[in-house]
Amino acid sequence: MTFDFLTFTKQTIKFVSTIIVLFVVSSVSLGQSVSGVVYSTLNEKPLIYVSIGVLGTSKGTISNEKGEFKLEITGVSEDSLVRFSMIGFEPQTFTIKELSKSKNIIRLENKPIQLTEIVIKPSGKPKKIGTVNYTKFGGVCGWGGTNFGKGHEIGSRIELGNNMVQLKSIHIRLFKQSFDSTLLRLHIRDIAEGLPSDELLNQEIITSVSEEKGWVEIDLSKYNLIYKGEIALTLEWIKVYGINEDRLMRMNGSKNYTANVLFNLNKNNGTFFIRKGSEAKWLRTENQSPSFYLTVQE
């Protein structure tokens, strides 16, 4: 009887252990990432640089040049929501559980945009609005590494005034860039309860910055951007190209040299906005801002 009991116990333990191992392997395979491709329903072509993020968290990514994506979701519950969004398209939202299959096909529909024609008759000289200087020995803001910043945004509050103005150009002050070039997406948002809110742009504006340091001008005149009041002007990190070994930096007392793209800060005034992922919560810091300003025409 004793032999039979021990045999049964060993078999039971082996069976239970097998079930546990299978459960753990299954959990790991489903719980670490989800992947797929994003298409446009208009022409069934892949959509590049679609923002993809878990709502309320810093977990996010961006689709590549083939529309493909891989979103790391370690530690996220299967009921959490993932949002796919892009300017000019209706966003789509799915649960982690819905996306936990081997290959997801996501289709975004074009978003009809009602445009009101506004004509600006130049009534004065172009003027600069925003943070036009920086603290010489102050802090910096930006991103490090080749993937860390995907979907991260930084920017500032800008008061355009009560009259409609046309945005002619944006100027950003690079502290230093280690990459051959960095691809950035511009966002202009309304402000609600002190934080960036609804997107005001109706088209994607993506620019490549290749300068190592100093002021960089981005031409906006061809987009016919006309606004008034207060806006949140932010830049989103999309991707980087190449690493220039001569431009590597040591950050925060580290002995190791790393690749970064960093902007100067004005540590005396302004409002600084940041969010660490396309669906992360916005954070605001007063009395400092990145050195970004607009040239506008009334």
CA-to-CA separations, 138 to 3, 87, 133, 258, 267, in angstroms, rounded: 76, 34, 12, 20, 6
Token pair in block for residue 89 = 């398209």
Specify the higher pLDDT residue, 146 or 218: 218
- The C-alpha atoms of residue 91 and residue 116 are separated, in whole angstroms, by 23
Confidence of residue 241 (pLDDT cuts 50, 70, 90): very high
Q: Per-residue pLDDT tens for 13-71?
A: 444 444 443 333 333 334 589 999 999 998 999 999 999 999 999 999 999 999 999 99
Q: What pTM did the predictor assign?
A: 0.84
Domains of the chain, earliest start first: 34-108 (2.60.40.1120), 127-297 (2.60.120)
SS (H, E, C) the chain: CHHHHHHHHHHHHHHHHHHHHHHHHHHHHHHCEEEEEEEECCCCCECCCCEEEECCCCCEEECCCCCEEEEECCCCCCCCEEEEECCCECCEEEEHHHHCCCCEEEEECECCCCCCCCCCCCCCCCEEEECCCCCCCCCEEEEECCCCCCCCEEEEEEECCCCCEEEEEEEEEEEEECEEEEEEEEEEEEEECCEEEEECCCCCCEEEECCCCEEEEEECHHHCCEECCEEEEEEEEEEEEEECHHHCEECCCCCCEECEEEEEEECCCCEEEEECCCCCCCEEEECCEECEEEEEEC
CB 50 within 8 A of CB 38: yes
pLDDT of 256 reads 87
**Is residue 233 pLDDT above 50, yes or no?**
yes
- The C-alpha atoms of residue 298 and residue 120 are separated, in whole angstroms, by 7
Residue indicated by tokens 């929501």: 81
Q: Per-residue pLDDT tens for 183-208?
A: 999 999 999 999 999 999 999 999 99
Residue indicated by tokens 């990459």: 179
Burial of 73 (C-beta count, 10 Å sphere; 0-12/13-18/19+): buried
Mean pLDDT confidence for 119-141: 85
Judged by average pLDDT, the poorest of 167-176, 230-239, 243-252 is 243-252
Specify the higher pLDDT residue, 255 or 148: 255
Specify the higher pLDDT residue, 138 or 105: 105
**Is residue 2 pLDDT above 70, yes or no?**
no
- The C-alpha atoms of residue 164 and residue 161 are separated, in whole angstroms, by 8
**Is residue 86 pLDDT above 70, yes or no?**
yes
